Amino acid sequence: MLGRVGDTTDKARTRIVRRATELFRAEGFGAVGVDRISDLAPVSKRTLYQRFPTKDDLIAEYVRTIGDTNYDSMQDAVDDDAPPAERILQAFIWLQNQTTPSGYRGCPIVNAVAELPDATHPARQLALDHKDQVLGFFRDQAASAGAADPDELAEQLIMLFDGASSYSLVRDSRIPPSFLAAAKTLINAQLPPDSQPLK
Amino acid sequence: MLGRVGDTTDKARTRIVRRATELFRAEGFGAVGVDRISDLAPVSKRTLYQRFPTKDDLIAEYVRTIGDTNYDSMQDAVDDDAPPAERILQAFIWLQNQTTPSGYRGCPIVNAVAELPDATHPARQLALDHKDQVLGFFRDQAASAGAADPDELAEQLIMLFDGASSYSLVRDSRIPPSFLAAAKTLINAQLPPDSQPLK
DNA sequence: GAGATATTACACAGATCTGTTTAATTGGCA
DNA sequence: TGCCAATTAAACAGATCTGTGTAATATCTC
């Protein structure tokens, strides 16, 4: 039967999204045509358009998927039993490892927003949702760690986080150790005086 | 006479680059055709191709121009008589003001690298040159301020800097005050104990 | 095995893209 | 005025793009 809404066993759909993810991630939306995705899926173009009526629908699904995948991957790198400040650092180390040693193409969510000037594009909201999810994680950990202003610290951390992505993208090199040092400095500046600072 | 190399009075060339800058900046390279640039310059397509044999040449010129323009604009916002740590903050305030109150499209240099997967594209080196210029500014100021490790601090600052751009891009909102607070925290953490900390 | 459904290959429409060709026209300068 | 280089408009080539129409083939269910 043709893939219905909520069908989690639609193999064609899965293959389409997987290939689209690889190609969009590496080259962006404009540079990747629908034909190339369907050829590599492999699936006929007709089937692709059966699952995704327009390319923009596929782009939106890509943004949703890569956001969820990245968040899950990051969470997998975080030890739930570690102290909250350590958990933040583990997330930072995860990002650093994503950029090893070269070939990193920048944050796919940020890149998507950059390539979609139309603020009403459905993918734009999904991109924001993802960043809010990451921001929420930082905020929750900051609060648990006893940060003086968890919202402020979370904003600072996500700016540092995404800036490190840009750094790696432009230089095509691994995020440097100064990245983790900066995270520690920002966190320590907000920890209560009686707590053990990160070092 | 037809615009020669080094001709600084080539009005057609100037108009082409100016329009290309507006359009590329707002929409990216893929979404902007050469026809649209020439129509708006206004200049015939023939003249455009006389000045820039390929679109990639125009893209490279755009990256060079926007990098230089932004760096100059940032330097104009920096008071040469202020202490070095203050000069860094003035540069950060400049970036914050670039994102007011919305409509910011992210760092054009980072966006250019994201949209040009080919690492040998001439614009890629120009993008790196620009970021090295900004990094060098931060390093010089950090060193003048007596930072413990000026290279490390400069890396941290440029990561925070570009991350704030991404933050503003994704959220279509002004960079928040926590940005400046983070810069101060990172700077203060490296200033000599006997110096006056930023507040 | 029969019938319904899904997928395939492939041509096609219509739009757009980069870059070129051609011929008419403009504008500066002697 | 008259020359000459530069610019213009416009059509064009050839490629690519998104999305559709069609008819044959494969797959699944009963």
User: Using the beta-carbon criterion (under 8 Å), do A106 and B127 form an inter-chain contact?
Assistant: no
What single letter denotes the amino acid at residue B38?
S
Q: Are B159 and A179 in contact (CB under 8 A)?
A: yes
CA dihedral B154, B159, B162, B165 (to 10 degrees): -120
Give the largest CA-CA distance in chain A: 64
pLDDT at res. B8: 60
pLDDT tens digit sequence for A158-176: 999 999 999 999 999 999 9
Contacts of A176 in chain B (CB under 8 A): 155
Indicate the average pLDDT of chain B. Answer: 95
Does residue A2 carry a pLDDT above 50? no
Give the chain A residue whose CA is nearest to the CA of B115: A28
Q: Nearest-CA distance from A9 to chain B in Å?
A: 33
Per DSSP, chain B holds a count of helices (H) and strands (E) of: 9, 0
pLDDT at res. A43: 96
pLDDT tens digit sequence for A26-79: 999 999 999 999 999 899 999 999 999 999 999 999 999 999 999 999 999 999
CA proximity to B108, closest of A123, A163, A114: A114
Contacts of B119 in chain A (CB under 8 A): 172
pLDDT at res. A129: 98
Q: How far is CA A69 from CA A18, A21, A129, in A?
A: 11, 11, 13
pLDDT tens digit sequence for A76-96: 999 999 999 999 999 999 999
* Percent of chain B at pLDDT exceeding 90: 91
Does residue B5 carry a pLDDT above 80? no
Strand D atom within 7 Å of B37 CB: no
Residue found by looking up tokens 């902007």 in the block: B32
Give the chain B residue whose CA is nearest to the CA of A31: B30
A60: which DSSP letter?
Answer: H
pLDDT at res. B3: 44
DSSP H helices in chain B: 11-27, 34-40, 45-51, 55-76, 84-98, 108-115, 122-144, 150-171, 178-188
pLDDT tens digit sequence for B94-132: 999 999 999 999 999 999 999 999 999 999 999 999 999
Q: Nearest-CA distance from B125 to chain A in Å?
A: 9
DSSP A86-149: HHHHHHHHHHHHHT-SS-----HHHHHHHH---TTSHHHHHHHHHHHHHHHHHHHHHHHTT-S-
CA dihedral B53, B56, B61, B66 (to 10 degrees): 150
pLDDT at res. B4: 46
Strand D atom within 7 Å of B1 CB: yes
Is the bond leading into A177 cis (omega within 30 degrees of zero)?
no
pLDDT at res. A88: 98
Separation between the CA of B1 and the C1’ of D2 (whole angstroms):
18
User: Using the beta-carbon criterion (under 8 Å), do A28 and B114 form an inter-chain contact?
Assistant: yes
pLDDT at res. A8: 61
CA proximity to B115, closest of A180, A186, A111: A111
Output the six-digit token pair for A36: 């190339």
* Dihedral sign from CA coordinates of A157, A163, A169, A173: negative
Separation between the CA of B57 and the C1’ of D5 (whole angstroms):
25
* Dihedral sign from CA coordinates of A75, A185, B106, A24: negative
CA proximity to A160, closest of A95, A77, A70, A114: A95
Q: How far is CA B183 from CA B91, B99, B131, in A?
A: 11, 17, 18
pLDDT at res. A3: 44
Does residue B151 carry a pLDDT above 60? yes
Go through the domains of chain A in sequence order and give each one's CATH number: 8-53 (1.10.10.60), 54-188 (1.10.357.10)
pLDDT at res. A145: 97
Q: Nearest-CA distance from A13 to chain B in Å?
A: 26
Average pLDDT over residues B33-47: 95
Strand D atom within 7 Å of B50 CB: yes
Helical axes B11-27 vs B55-76, angle rounded to 10°: 80
Residue of A105 and B5 predicted with greater confidence: A105
